[in-house]
Amino acid sequence: MSEKGPENEPAESAEATSDDRVGEGTKDSASDADRVPEASRWHLALREITTGNALVAVLSVVLAMFFGSLMILFTDEDVRYGLSYFFARPSDTFFYAWEAISGAYVSLWRGAVFNDLAGTFAQQIKPITETLKFAAPLTLAGLGIGLTFRAGLFNIGGRGQMLLGGAAAAFVAVKLDLPMIVHLPLAILAGALVAALWGGIAGILKALTGAHEVIVTIMLNYVGYYLVFYALTRESLLQAPGSANPKSAPMPESAILPDLLGPQFNLHAGFLLAVAATFLVWWILNRSSLGYRFRAVGENPAAAKAAGINVGVAYASAFMISGALVGMAGVNQVLGSVTDGATGGLDAGIGFDAITVALLGRSRPFGILAAGILFGAFKSGGFFMQASEGIPVDIVLVVQSLIVLFLAAPPLVKAIFRLPTKEA
């Protein structure tokens, strides 16, 4: 006969209570996950897009190139002709398709890296120098955009910051007559400083009023453009004397970035500035207390504030450094690539392309440098591809746009290539 003593009851009740607590804890954690604030969801999504897996970035380029190949096929006349009798002789269609795709990417290589068909060695290596020339401003601006990404911010004001930085550098260049050892550094410093102050406006407004930086920087693009346009229509400011066009006078020799490989190449010292800026941003983000604060605020602003970090100061500082870097891209244009005079189009769309470069580089300095070189290759090789193969250069722009699309959808890329997810 079994006896149920009182001493057995507490054990049973304790076990039941323990099981209930486990069940409740599981339910609470599940409900907590469901109750993640909407702002936190957006913050996590932005962080995933801007600083996610490097493999996703590489595969995004692969996917974009694949779809670019499809567009090359659809626009090639020989391929369309082969399709008209595909079932009679399908080998012709495949031959034309291979010729179109291989011809396009071989010409892209020859226009961006090495042209084996050129007569002299200087002409053969000129494509890579053009790629590096295009890469310099993309890298500088991308570093600025990427730094704000690491601080949890989104800088869309690259165009305005480039315009103000380039205009300030041009003003110092054409208005002062100084020896090169003073004139060139002063013009570079003026461009970086003015762009830093311009970028700081968004950071200060974000810190003091909570104004969304995307809206502020977009509006500042328009304000910056019209300020520069006004300066270019006043001889007392930037307009060339005796000219009716909104354009400055050509840059004097004492304020032009020197050539790196001689006058037969367009590559200038702006690329060295981009490389130096890459190492500087890497040091700031990974070896300085300021960079630690940027990264802490970017990961979790509330936790950073609880740890004693002044989030507002971090926002303002990030935007000022970002503005200086993006402004250096404008300086690179005015004092290096296009020295015949500053215009309202000196940014050449680089301010927006830099966002893609920063995304592709996952907001890491050396990743941004590599992405800048890749996009410089697209720019340099795209024109050669159009001239030699008759392929519209717009296809290169579509490839760049597709890269942005895939970078903004990491789960899609992971699903296509069956990459493991964080949950797995």
pLDDT digit of tens for each residue in the chain (424 aa)?
A: 444 444 444 444 444 444 444 444 444 444 444 444 555 666 666 666 666 677 888 888 899 999 999 998 888 889 999 999 989 999 999 999 999 999 999 999 999 999 998 889 999 999 999 999 999 999 999 999 999 999 999 999 999 999 999 999 999 999 999 999 999 999 999 999 999 999 999 999 999 999 999 999 999 999 999 999 999 999 999 999 988 899 999 999 999 999 999 889 999 999 999 999 999 999 999 999 999 999 999 999 999 999 999 999 999 999 999 999 999 999 999 999 999 999 999 998 899 999 999 999 989 999 999 999 999 999 999 888 888 888 887 888 888 888 888 887 888 888 888 877 665 5
Give the closest residue to 277 by CA, choosing from 134, 143, 131, 162. Answer: 143
Q: Residue ranges of the alpha helices (H) in 390-420?
A: 394-407, 410-416
How close are the terminal C-alpha atoms of the chain, in Å? 52
Which pLDDT belongs to residue 357?
94
Residues 335 and 118: their CA atoms lie apart, in Å, by: 30
Partnered with residue 322 across adjacent β-strands are none
Q: What are phi and psi of 327, to 5 degrees?
A: -60, -35
Q: What are phi and psi of 116, to 5 degrees?
A: -70, -10
Prediction pTM value: 0.85
CA atoms within 13 A on the CB side of 243: 18
Give the closest residue to 405 by CA, choosing from 20, 383, 241, 397. Answer: 397
Which pLDDT belongs to residue 406?
87
Question: Cβ(348)–Cβ(333) under 8 Å?
Answer: yes
Question: Cβ(114)–Cβ(124) under 8 Å?
Answer: yes
DSSP secondary structure letters along 177-238: ---HHHHHHHHHHHHHHHHHHHHHHHHHHHHHH---HHHHHHHHHHHHHHHHHHHHT-TTTT
Residue 239's SS3 state is strand
